Structure 1
Amino acid sequence: MLPRMDNFKAAIFTKRVIAFNESFVPVGPRSSIKPLAVIWHEGISGRKQEDLTSCYYAFFLFYKDIKKITIWLDNCSAQNKNWCLFTFLIFMINSQELETMVIDIFYFQPGHSFMSADSFHHQVELSMKQMGKIYDFCDYEKSIKNSNKGHVDVKVLDDKDFFDWKSECSIYKFKKNINRPMLNSLVHIRAERGLKYLLYSCTYDEYTPLRMLDFLKPSYLKNDFVRPQQKNELRGIQPEKKQSIIQTLVPLMPKSRHQFWFDFPTSDLVNDLYEESEN
């Protein structure tokens, strides 16, 4: 939440801005690859499937020279296991924007107790506590850069980094295939360069052959894969929410932080993320 000023009672009772951190953290303590934190706030964009898919796009571009990328994800269907993301994977593995040949995605079993991102998020929390107060988004960015002893990369997204990614899943193909897998049964997804379908497994057994997951619409397949349009506009927050922060919390901040909140984008068309599900 921004601003983070919990020692002021007024901050506890004021609706604040949601800041997002989609972290990609390497496995193992001796990895030469730094954690990558992809960050933005709700004034820039929300947390719909296309927003999170845009985070994966930023991640793959950041590591575009790695030939094989393996990612472990939790089993949240709305965020990490959906047809929008799967459509994107086929686009991405066939894109000329990166050198990657294979993308493997594994999903933890539901109820798993720990993943490497948990440790990194703990380091971020410690860094924020050390700073004491997080007045604006620049402070939030700084706290993440200072976390994990500075061994971290940070990618700050703006409106031009978000794209209108969509699912191109064919309902007809699914109805025709009586042996189609259910999303909740998938534990391994693979995208290989040159293929216009995914490979999948419903078991962690490495000796089980991967099966074909052919789900794209014929109309999408017959054309060249094209990156969708940039959103190119800020989401904004409700004017009342901004005004409440300016009246109640901005006077408690150093003057150097005031302008961020005065310039914060607003929109009469958005709902408060506290009150709606955007998954």
Structure 2
Amino acid sequence: MENDQQESSNNVDNELREIFGPESEEDPFQDSGSDYQPSGRNSTASSTDLIDILGDENQSPNNITSEITPVQSKPRKRVRQTSKWKKNVRKEKRSRGEEYINVKGVLVPPKQIDTACECNCQRKCHEKILPSQQIILFNSFYALGNYNLQSSFLFSLIKVMPKKTCHTASAVSRRSNSRVYQVPNCDGLHVTVCKEFFKKLFGVSDGRLSRVLKNKLAIPIPPTDQRGNHVPSNKTPENKIQIVKNFINKFPKYESHYTLHKSTNRMFLAPDLGLPKLIALYKEETPPSEQVSNFMFRKVFNEQFNLSFHAPITDSCKKCDNFKIKIEAEESSVKKDELNSQRKLHLLKAESARNNFKIDKNRAADDSDLTVIVFDLMKTLPTPVISTGICYYKRQLWTYCLGIHNAHNDEVTMYVWNETIASRGPQEIGSCLLRYIKEKVKTKKLIMYSDQCGGQNRNIKMATLCQYIVAHPDYTVDNIDHKFYVSGHSYLACDQDFGLVEKKKKFYKNIYLPDDWITVIKAARDRNPFNVIKMTKDDFISTKKLENNITNRKVTAEKSKVQWLSIQWLLFNKMHPFILFFKYSNNEDVLFENVDFKKRVSKHWTGIKLDPLYPDGKPISTEKKKDLLDLLPFIPPVHHSFYTSIKDNVSVRNDIDVENDIDSD
């Protein structure tokens, strides 16, 4: 038994390698976890000694980091980069002696040394320190690039000692000590120079030297720059910050099931939580004397944790959830490895589909004869939408919206209709695509992306309609690739478009007619607004004649069974009008299988005229019509005629807002 399980696990691994290729030993998306930060410059012997003297706290501004060290390698939000602040860039340039613009906007020239200037003192300093050595010392000083290191450098070259003689008759002298300025010559020996030569050599002022040497006799340690290093009076104590961390760490965290290795650092909290609720719970549990402000709580949450709030459970992948339960409950290590391999294959398929979309999108930018679109059906929109509570107890009229997103230019077309015109099946979806391709697509090649909803997108009705499009002369397209995202991992571009509609509808409190939804959709995007098309009963076609023109065979040319629910890629070509090419993978290297739908008496697609789907419109159920009429007292009288004229039929079942279609991968 164990051998059979091991063999099954090996088969899955082989399938992974066959479809997706061998996995690299080093994951290019995986964070290395290294805390290494590159230094500003290569360390020299002198600068290393100074760093050892000053300690780790006195580093170059390039190495300045946030006071708060993130718990995880990547926080929820961007951490401030103080080294890129204008004032720090200006400060660093000044320390390096480079040209910079000060706070008043005045251009400060770079530091320069004049080696031709002769010293007039008795020591003849310019003869002791040759011009070439002057340049070396000058460059070495500003190469340190740090105020504290430069102060330490000056500190080490100047000796301070009690004065030996007094040249004033006053009992009190302003000078209490003497200074000896020394610099290394070409031979490495320290020679004494005058103060003026020393200042010109390093481009420093009297004030800079006085601040460096102020307490040298009493404290033989180089002073550090204290500007900006004071502790704010309102700084939150570290113990309160730790209480916040401990509170956040108490909540269980979950990994995302959507990706294989992206966002591996991000963890998720329960979907019913949120920052406001988290803060409220924190304030309930923590004594007032130990609480931090709401701002500080959010700062800790965003900068020290990489946490988000999980999407609603209904948005999760059923297959991922199933794998998770089985893996946790499985005791056999062999069986657990097999389940992990199957889960990995599932995630690789999902990621392959997303990567293919990115590749196709880039191809569309380079190929003028290729169009890439994404289409999806928005969740049903209820009508009427009124503030009265009775609305929640009555059946409402559904409005449908199919979004088609052009991946190249982000142009979005929304096809809108209500359930008195048509339903939301594959013929309705196909009718919208038929109109879009005829009016919008002027290229030979078309790639379509959608989810795997079998009742709407992946079925024989859509397949025959695509064969009709590539074969008919009224359409420019002669090759269609229809690719499917994996269920539960379908982040379609249309979802973002629908999100804008959901966001905008909050500003429309009352919606009395289905046409009011068109107003909402048009206003949803300010830049490059959605193109909204209202579908009529004449726009919806029936595929019955197309289906009658073929034989819906269930086996391929190689006599293998066609598994519709596992298909990931469909291909339709003008040169093969009756052959369906398909494969169970989104991988380019996997070969297509094919099935021939042609029968002996099949007509060419161009000879078929499509009939309307609902010539007289689509009636709704009698129960729904009654509920809509009950809502008329809450609807302005000017709109009553629309509801009273709706056709109903007692045999029509109620169309409820649920997803009954079976998805599989």
TM range (shorter): 0.7 to 0.9
Offset, 1:171: 4.6
How far apart, CA to CA, are the structure 2 residues paired with 1:145 and 1:59? 18
Which amino acid letter does the alignment assign opposite residue 148 of structure 1? R
How far apart, CA to CA, are the structure 1 residues paired with 2:542 and 2:628? 30
Give identity over the alignment, percent.
Answer: 18
**Match of residue 618, structure 2, among 219, 222, 235:** 235
Which amino acid letter does the alignment assign opposite residue 229 of structure 1? D
1:90 is aligned to 2:467: yes
Task: Provide Cα deviations, 1:201-231, integer angstroms capped at 9, x if missing partner.
Answer: 2222213343333224443356754132113
1:103 is aligned to 2:486: no
How far apart, CA to CA, are the structure 1 residues paired with 2:398 and 2:507? 20
The answer (yes or no) to whether the contact 1:188–1:203 under 8 Å persists in 2 is: yes
Matched with 1:140 is 517
1:59 is aligned to 2:436: yes
Matched with 1:182 is 563
Task: Provide Cα deviations, 1:166-225, integer angstroms capped at 9, x if missing partner.
Answer: 335525563875224311222111212232123222222213343333224443356754
1:259 is aligned to 2:641: yes
Offset, 1:102: 1.7
1:207 is aligned to 2:589: yes
The answer (yes or no) to whether the contact 1:2–1:19 under 8 Å persists in 2 is: yes
Matched with 1:244 is 627
More helix by percentage: 2
How far apart, CA to CA, are the structure 1 residues paired with 2:605 and 2:494? 38
- The aligned runs of 1:163-174 (5 Å cut-off) are 163-166=541-544, 167-168=547-548, 170-171=551-552, 174=555
Matched with 2:492 is 115
Offset, 1:68: 2.0
Going from structure 1 to structure 2, the CA distance change for 1:217 and 1:38 (only over 3 Å counts) comes to farther
Residue aligned with 1:106, SS: strand
Residue aligned with 1:228, SS: coil
Matched with 2:424 is 47
Matched with 1:194 is 575
1:11 is aligned to 2:386: no
How far apart, CA to CA, are the structure 1 residues paired with 2:566 and 2:607? 28
Matched with 1:26 is 406
Going from structure 1 to structure 2, the CA distance change for 1:228 and 1:36 (only over 3 Å counts) comes to same
Aligned residue-pair number? 274
**Match of residue 128, structure 1, among 490, 495, 505:** 505
Structure 1 segments, 4+ long, off by >4 Å, are 221-225, 275-279
Structure 1 unmatched ranges of 5 or more: none
1:81 is aligned to 2:465: no
The answer (yes or no) to whether the contact 1:104–1:188 under 8 Å persists in 2 is: yes
How far apart, CA to CA, are the structure 2 residues paired with 1:220 and 1:144? 43
How far apart, CA to CA, are the structure 1 residues paired with 2:399 and 2:646? 13
Task: Provide Cα deviations, 1:65-100, integer angstroms capped at 9, x if missing partner.
Answer: 233221111111111100111011101111122111
Going from structure 1 to structure 2, the CA distance change for 1:218 and 1:229 (only over 3 Å counts) comes to same
How far apart, CA to CA, are the structure 2 residues paired with 1:222 and 1:44? 30
Which amino acid letter does the alignment assign opposite residue 575 of structure 2? G
Which amino acid letter does the alignment assign opposite residue 189 of structure 1? L
How far apart, CA to CA, are the structure 2 residues paired with 1:34 and 1:223? 30
Offset, 1:113: 4.8
RMSD: 2.6
Which amino acid letter does the alignment assign opposite residue 617 of structure 2? L
- The aligned runs of 1:214-225 (5 Å cut-off) are 214-221=596-603, 224-225=606-607
Offset, 1:42: 1.0
Matched with 2:268 is none
The answer (yes or no) to whether the contact 1:173–1:215 under 8 Å persists in 2 is: no
How far apart, CA to CA, are the structure 2 residues paired with 1:117 and 1:54? 18
Offset, 1:17: 0.8
How far apart, CA to CA, are the structure 1 residues paired with 2:582 and 2:596? 10
Task: Provide Cα deviations, 1:129-165, integer angstroms capped at 9, x if missing partner.
Answer: 1112211111011111111226211121111111121
How far apart, CA to CA, are the structure 1 residues paired with 2:563 and 2:600? 21
Residue aligned with 1:57, SS: helix
Which amino acid letter does the alignment assign opposite residue 69 of structure 1? L
The answer (yes or no) to whether the contact 1:200–1:212 under 8 Å persists in 2 is: yes
Matched with 2:78 is none
Name which of structure 1's ranges 188-197 and 267-276 shifts more when overlaid on structure 2: 267-276
Offset, 1:105: 0.9
Name which of structure 1's ranges 232-241 and 82-91 shifts more when overlaid on structure 2: 232-241
How far apart, CA to CA, are the structure 1 residues paired with 2:588 and 2:414? 30
Structure 2 unmatched ranges of 5 or more: 1-381
TM-score under structure 1 length normalisation? 0.87
